[in-house]
Amino acid sequence: MVFTAAPGTGGENAERTYEAMAPVYDNFTAHHEYDLWTADLLKILEDHELQGKRLLDVACGTGKSFLEMLPRGWQVTACDISPSMLARAREKADGAVELSIADMTELPVFGQFDLVWALDDAVNYLLGTEELRRALAGMGTNLAPAGLLLFDVNTLHAYRTFFAETEVVEREGRRLVWRGLTAPDVPPRSICESRLEVDSGESLTHRQRHFPEADVLGALGAAGLECLDVYGLGLDGVPRQPLDETTHTKAVYIARMSDS
């Protein structure tokens, strides 16, 4: 099933989804190897002369995206639109991270950061290019003069596979069923849906938009940002070039504020 329009904004859509998903999110993503992924991301950031150790984690969820940064000596500020997800992040952070509720399309200025990132396809919950531009512009205003922005988006391949297939996860006595509702030949720029069915009988809808590289680059430019590099990720999570939307499942973008 493919939707060309959806009720509400991307922020409202994400908040509803993750408020409901918060109790099972860590179960569903327990197989994600954040330690290895973080190391790979930091390596490519260092190739672009990453300076300092101040991180703003946008759409931090339950904290998995910033926990690996703490033992590396990073000072972390994080935000998420879902109070329930943020409550779980707060438990894990144990006072070591400044946490706030925020919509990425209306991002406050939290300070000046050496690195701002938004991971795990958070950007794909935005439902149009104007929402994407506003989110990127808000992240840009939180960058230090030499700061770097990093974010990922799902590729067309991800929507034609993961969002079109059924996956069952059984962990710690819970049974979660992911049912893709998207056609396996879905065209670019579509709004796609999947449903996560929880053993409690609850059904959680995920609605995302595919952003091809041209749209992302256009939104970056309109937000006053310069794209430095683009990487593709496969299921092994290793960044590679060039990006191939037909084989990679994610695209990773690195940007900075434009000099012009």
pLDDT tens, 7-18? 467 788 899 889
Per-residue model confidence (pLDDT) at position 6: 41
Can you say how many angstroms the Cα of residue 50 is from the centroid of all Cα atoms in its chain? Answer: 20
The DSSP result for 136-170, as a single string, is HHHHHTTEEEEEEEEEEEE-HHHHHTGGGSEEEEE
Give the least confident one: 20-24, 122-126, 137-141, 189-193.
Answer: 20-24
pLDDT digit string, tens, across residues 224-246: 999 999 999 998 889 999 999 99
Helix 10-21 and helix 83-93: axis angle, to 10°?
A: 60
Give the span between the Cα atoms of 71 and 162, in whole angstroms.
32
- Retrieve residue 248's tokens: 């990679």
Task: Name the residue among 71, 46, 66 with its Cα closest to residue 55.
Answer: 66
Beta bridge partners of 197: 177, 203
**What's the mean pLDDT in 26-36?**
81
**Domains of the chain (ranges, CATH numbers):** 2-151+212-238+251-255 (3.40.50.150)
Size of the chain, expressed as the number of residues it contains: 260
The DSSP call for residue 238 is -
Q: Is the pLDDT of residue 4 over 70?
A: no
Q: Give φ, ψ of 237 to 5 degrees.
A: 75, 10
Beta bridge partners of 190: none
Give the span between the Cα atoms of 11 and 123, in whole angstroms.
10
CA distances from 138 to 17, 18, 77, 104, 132 (A): 22, 21, 15, 7, 10
pLDDT digit string, tens, across residues 65-90: 999 999 999 999 999 999 999 999 99
Per-residue model confidence (pLDDT) at position 95: 96
pTM for this prediction: 0.94
The DSSP call for residue 187 is P
Give the span between the Cα atoms of 84 and 107, in whole angstroms.
19
